[in-house]
Structure 1
């Protein structure tokens, strides 16, 4: 399989996600440019699994640019909600014109989850995990997939101003702070995305033996 190097397209319009991926790949000399910066449309995510949607997004970006593309499909899976919002995590953050270029209202999404949990009573379990799938696709169609996970619990109200998405309400296992309260370097060490990246790095950057 081809080894990852040079310039690649990160198939996202989410600047928070781009920053995290860029920070994780920078030590390996990979130059990241986002699909949004290149003016690419976002393909409709028509599938019901993280793997299928990640591959779809990466393949679209690779075909449109002629560059290797990396796509992340990730989401929050809440045990008491049967794994929801899952692959529909971003859809729960409805697009709002006042939310800036990314157009997502994540506070609304966090409130939806909390509202559903509250309806289930004060003893409802708050176990949840973040899931992440990274899909690499080269212009010739070669692809690779890496899966990651981070377990934890949900808290309310939201805490912290770092991170993005559901980070302010997610407390990773073994910690008392939310993802949004942890310094980026701490979050990068334990997150679902970091877990998937460790597998990508071992596959793409490990020395040949």
Structure 2
């Protein structure tokens, strides 16, 4: 059974492929031909995930999934939220976004730097749409730590494991991260509804 992920982000595909390696074959958008990533114009991460999944579902008969992730910082009233990927501008790098985040939190005590990473996965197959969410609670540090991961991983400290997401190996991250929690639910959903996907 094949799942196509509506993204060109190799890091994201690698995480998802590792997670499903014993159950499903995971393809990237690049594996099925021409696919242009669409602009994320939704007002919520749910809307963005659906926009991306719908754009690819028109090009393949495989199961299509797309996710959108937001970092919601309590002290910043939920920002960057839906704008997490372009927090420092439309062409911002991961480092640009992290620098802006840390600048806005400069001088804020650690106990007030609580945040939630949320991932929403949209699944589309034969016209049926399903939304699944995962999240992880943490704290934004005042400087990056760790060499793995991507995005805000180096500054997002997972309280329950005592490390940033960037200090975790891919296997460790796939036990605790927001995307992992969403993918666990997705895997359960696929197994419980297997007949629908044949």
Alpha-carbon separation, structure 2, partners of 1:130 and 1:181: 16
Quick check: 1:18 aligned with 2:13? yes
Deviation, 1:133, is 0.4
* TM-score scaled by length of structure 2: 0.90
Distance 1:36 1:93, change over 3 A: farther
Structure 1, unpaired ranges of 5+ = 1-5, 97-103
**Residue 97 of structure 2 is aligned to residue 91 of structure 1:** no
Task: Find the residue that maps to 2:192 and give its secondary structure.
Answer: coil
Point out where structure 2 has 5 or more consecutive residues left out of the alignment: none
**Partners in 2 of 1:137 and 1:207 — Cα distance?**
13
CA distance in 1, matches of 2:70, 2:178: 10
Report how many residues are paired: 192
Residue 26 of structure 2 is matched in structure 1 by: 32
What's the secondary structure of 2:58's corresponding residue?
A: helix
Q: Do the aligned residues in 1 keep the contact of 2:88 with 2:100 (CA within 8 Å)?
A: no
Q: Which moved more, 1:37-46 or 1:15-24?
A: 37-46
Matched residue, 1:61: 56
Deviation at 1:207, TM superposition (A): 7.9
Counterpart selection for 2:133 from 143, 147, 151: 147
Structure-1 separation of matches of 2:16 and 2:54: 18
Give the superposed CA RMSD. 1.8
8 A contact 1:10–1:71 mirrored in 2: yes
1:163-195, Cα deviation, whole Å (9 max, x unpaired): 111100011122321111111111110111111
Question: For residues 137-179 of structure 1, what are the alpha-carbon distances to aligned partners after superposition, in whole Å with 9 as ceiling and x for unaligned?
Answer: 11x3111111111000011211111111110001112232111
Corresponding residue for residue 130 of structure 1: 117
Question: What is the match of residue 93 of structure 2?
Answer: 105
- TM-score, structure 1 length as denominator? 0.85
